[in-house]
Amino acid sequence: MASRAEATPTWHDGRIASWLVTTDHKRIGILYIGTSVVFLVLAGLMGLAIRLQLAQANADVLSPERYNELVTIHGTSMVFLVGVPILAGFGNFLVPLMIGARDVAFPRLNALSYWLFLFGGLVLMGSFFASGGAAQAGWTSYPPLSEQTPGNGQDLWILSLHILTASSIAGAINFLVTIHNLRTPGMTWTRMPLFVWSIYVFAWLLMAVLPVLSAGITMILLDRGLEIGPWDVQTDFFNPQDGGSALLYQHAFWFFGHPEVYVIVLPAFGIISEVLPVFARKPVFGYKAIAFSTVAIGFFSMLVWAHHMFTVGLPYSLQTYFMIASMIIAVPTGMKIFNWLATLWRGNLAFDTPMLYAIGFLSLFVIGGLTGIYLAAFPIDWQVHDTYFVVAHFHYTLLGGVVFAIFAGLFYWWPKMFGRKLDERLGKWQFWILFIGFNVTFMPQHFLGLDGMPRRIYTYSREDWETWNLTSTVGSWIMAVAFLLFVWNVLKSRKGPRVGNDPWHADTLEWYTTSPPPPHNFDEVPYVTSARPLYDLRRRLREKEGARAL
Amino acid sequence: MRALPALTGFALLAAMAAPAALGQVTPVSPESPNAEGIKSSYLFVSIFVVAIFLLVEGLLIAFIVRYRRQRRQRFEDGAQIHGATNLELAWTAFPVVVLFLVAAFVFVELPDITDAPAAGPAGDDGIEIRVIGRQFYWQFEYPNGAISIDTMRAPAGVPVHLEVTAPESDVIHSWWIPALGGKIDTIPGVVNDTWFEAENPGLYRGQCAELCGLEHARMLGAVEVLPAPDFAAWVEERRAGQPAGSTDLGGELWAGVCAKCHGLAGEGGIAKALAGSALLADPQAVETIVRNGRVTRRGTMPAVGSGWTAEQIDALTAYLRESPPGGQ
């Protein structure tokens, strides 16, 4: 060992340099989460600007170009720079600790994943300064529109997504190999924490669907024209003027795009499945049902893509198939929700901030799930498709759902990551403000959509849409206050009280080691005999003490 | 104080549900059988949506209230229940039944939504109107060759079949008049169809529902439903006027095609001001630029009039001659 230590140059130990060269999954996880939070703030500011423009009829806060850029980059970053990577960050930090491993299988590949993610994100944000500004065709970037916008914004959007895809594929391989090979003795598949199950399916989904996105956006790139040295490439995949199909891309995009939603939602489900039992002082209800439903959701998510395309004029037989397939996903999702509810049943509930967020998640995700039934029933979708009803629907699943789960996870694992708790009082204030602000922002958007307001319009002249739009904008400011409180809480936590290994008396292996864990994670790992190794340990300890007392 | 969590819970549930009493919670009032079919499907689904919402949120609040810690120790165990197979089966079967009912209802309603009646209540045969979505206007072509822009005229009580498309050089738009049914995309190179049969005369508004570029938000559309004889008169008059350079059509072309970027009085918008421009008085120059578009350093003007008939060009130039935007 001594010779290896000497082989490491001393500058690697610097306060900043040590983060730049790190291959420690915990540090990489924290880098992922920190970077994603920065992108969350940037994309959130874009959302605020969008709401400002829409607060009143005929407003001119933003020009149409600027508005379309912000809509596109807000959506793209929330999915690719916030949703996926922040959960990959949790996965990075937690998976090795939860399965009792020393690190991920390929630590250097892991570092590469992170740096590619950062680089891809910088390309996307930097595209605002490209000639012609950033991409303007929405996060879906449908051709022919995305092929007709001049300037380089769209090309940089494609480049950025390619980089992020490479990052995600490398990360996914890493997770899969790690989960297959590095589980500690005794940790069978059915003793694995449910969060690890969710990351397992997350990784398979990324591997399965990202290549299809890559193909689709490469075709857009080639259609837009590409000059490489002496070669001038110009294809017509999606250009109907020369025999291409304007519709083909949508199939490729949504074959990726719908599973991508579950890529983001499943690890959020995983967080909830970890948090609820700990604060209910119970085992999770129906462990196997929840694990199975995770796999089922992942599988079915690849069979439903054209429910995003009910208005393109597909044959009714196909629309029927996609309706039924989409509805089938509601069954495993319903299983999860009922199992979570049953986890609370006869518990000893403590409402610390992680629990508040987990319950907030449950109450809001249900709404997002239920409005999904309207969207799956295709004739109803013909009315509400591409309206604010859809915007409200997916914000209930992704913001009310995923972001609430992420806050549950941050408040829950913060002590493990940094050895200090976030302030509980501030956290509870933040929760209530965010909960109220969220509903004020997005509930009215259902009404606007039903009343005929399409999404992605930079302005409107109907004055009867003003009340709910203004309400929604005010709600976005309330949410901004909640996010500021979180930033304050993070700054404050640097001086917060230290905590021990296991402040929540939790069940999974990451709480067995110190907070924060040492670079090698564990000095020793107990043999795992159930899905709740720490609960077992505490029980054995109690029994021993009981025996001694006798 | 002990009732506080319960009160908070119910207050929150009420706060989430209260706006429902004030806001638009169903699709807009239908004026055509297909829109009616969609609305009744929506209402049918809503029965289950509301019931499940109340069930889940109700249980959540009930459990929060009933099983909160109270005087128990912080880390005292709750009931160590790992699961129950019968319950799992029950809540797997329950959504299956609900979704089966929803899908079945949709199938029952579907023919009313998709299939236009063969004839109107008074026995009138249907008519066919072509809808062309373009950046950033709607062009409607009637069976006799009449053309209108952004506002379709249609007869009341007659099935109106729409053939919906976009030029191959354009982008995807989506045709949608909420009161007259669901939306259908206009896709370059694809011809879709839909229909409506408006019972009552009136003006029904909608707008493009697929992001189509900078002025997507201004791509408004409307259907003006007229009593059948009035419609017949209008479509004849429009057709008859066209060869002579109809200024009615010309005005629609200016307002629908040019003004969204250049301003109604030519005062400028996302594109440059045209008021007082010599170009407007030169029919040849107008034709060249609307047919071919123009790429300048400041941006691209799409070929908004590619594929226009000579009558459309004449209508626009005649209008510009008679009432030049922004005055002389």
Residue A340: inside a domain = yes
The question of ipTM being above 0.90 is answered as: yes
In order, the DSSP letters of A248-260 are HHHHHHHHHHHHH
Residue A93: inside a domain = yes
- Whether B216 sits inside 8 A of A456 (CB atoms) is yes
Q: Which two tokens stand for residue B153?
A: 């005229």
Nearest to A289 among B24, B26, B88 (CB): B88
- Whether B72 sits inside 8 A of A348 (CB atoms) is yes
In the residue annotation, A385 being an active-site residue is answered as no
Nearest to B80 among A136, A283, A456 (CB): A283
d(CA A183, CA A97): 10
pLDDT beyond 80 at B3? no
- Whether B49 sits inside 8 A of A373 (CB atoms) is yes
Residue A296 phi, psi (nearest 5):
-65, -45
Residue A7: inside a domain = no
- Whether B38 sits inside 8 A of A382 (CB atoms) is yes
Identify whether the C-beta of residue A19 lies closer than 8 Å to the C-beta of residue A76. no
Other C-beta atoms closer than 10 Å to the C-beta of B157 total 18
Cis peptide before A516, with omega less than 30 degrees from 0? yes
CATH number at residue A251: 1.20.210.10
- Whether A345 sits inside 8 A of B63 (CB atoms) is yes
Domain B128-240 in CATH 3.30.43.10: no
Contacting residues of B for A247, CB less than 8 Å apart:
187, 190
Q: Which amino acid is at B199?
A: E
Q: Which residue of B has its CA nearest to A468?
A: B23
Return the bridge partners of A420, or none: A498
Residue A275: inside a domain = yes
pLDDT beyond 70 at B54? yes
Cis peptide before B325, with omega less than 30 degrees from 0? no
In the residue annotation, A18 being an active-site residue is answered as no
- Per the structure, the complete domain to which residue A173 belongs is given by 21-549
Interface subset of B 206-265, CB within 8 angstroms of A: 206-218
Identify whether the C-beta of residue A447 lies closer than 8 Å to the C-beta of residue B25. yes
d(CA A288, CA B210): 42
Residue of higher predicted confidence among B138 and B300: B138
pLDDT beyond 90 at B120? no
d(CA B223, CA B94): 43
Select which of A114, A249, A262, A305 is catalytic.
A262
Q: How many domains does chain A have?
A: 1
- Whether A246 sits inside 8 A of B188 (CB atoms) is yes
Q: Where on the phi/psi map is residue B276: left (φ > 0), alpha (ψ -120 to 50), or beta? A: left
> Which pLDDT belongs to residue A23?
95
Select which of A102, A455, A456, A538 is catalytic.
A455
Residue A5: inside a domain = no
Interface subset of B 54-73, CB within 8 angstroms of A: 56-57, 59-60, 63-64, 67-69, 72-73
Residue A3: inside a domain = no
Interface residue B36 vs chain A (CB under 8 A): no
Domain locations in chain B as residue ranges: 4-15+26-70+84-114, 128-240, 245-322
Domain B245-322 in CATH 1.10.10.10: no
* pLDDT band (50, 70, 90) for residue B1: very low
- Whether A443 sits inside 8 A of B19 (CB atoms) is yes
Query: Which residues of chain A fall short of a pLDDT of 50?
Result: 1-2
Q: How is residue A471 annotated by DSSP?
A: H
Question: Which residue of A297, A373, A453, A535 is the best one to mutate when testing the B interface, meaning the one whose CB has the most B CBs within 10 A?
Answer: A373
- Whether A377 sits inside 8 A of B41 (CB atoms) is yes
Identify whether the C-beta of residue A289 lies closer than 8 Å to the C-beta of residue A523. no
In the residue annotation, A345 being an active-site residue is answered as no
Q: Count of A–B CB contacts within 8 Å? A: 275
Q: What is the maximal distance between C-alpha atoms in chain B?
A: 91
Interface residue B29 vs chain A (CB under 8 A): no
Residue A457: inside a domain = yes
d(CA A236, CA A242): 6
Identify whether the C-beta of residue B138 lies closer than 8 Å to the C-beta of residue B174. no
Interface residue B147 vs chain A (CB under 8 A): no
Q: Which residue of B has its CA nearest to A531?
A: B82
d(CA B281, CA B269): 20
Q: Which residues contact A490 (CB under 8 A, 6 or more apart)?
A: A422
In order, the DSSP letters of A66-132 are HHHHHHHHHHHHIIIIIIHHHHHHHHHHHHHHHTT-SS-S-HHHHHHHHHHHHHHHHHHHHGGGSTT
- Whether B63 sits inside 8 A of A456 (CB atoms) is no
- Whether A311 sits inside 8 A of B182 (CB atoms) is yes
In the residue annotation, A167 being an active-site residue is answered as yes
Residue A13: inside a domain = no
> Which pLDDT belongs to residue B203?
97
Q: What is the mean pLDDT of residues B14-21?
A: 62
Angle between helices A316-344 and B33-66 (to 10 degrees): 10
pLDDT tens string B121-172:
887 889 999 999 999 999 999 999 999 999 999 999 999 999 999 999 999 9
pLDDT beyond 60 at B2? no
In the residue annotation, A308 being an active-site residue is answered as yes
In the residue annotation, A505 being an active-site residue is answered as no
Select which of A27, A258, A416, A420 is catalytic.
A258
State the residue for tokens 């050089």.
Answer: B169
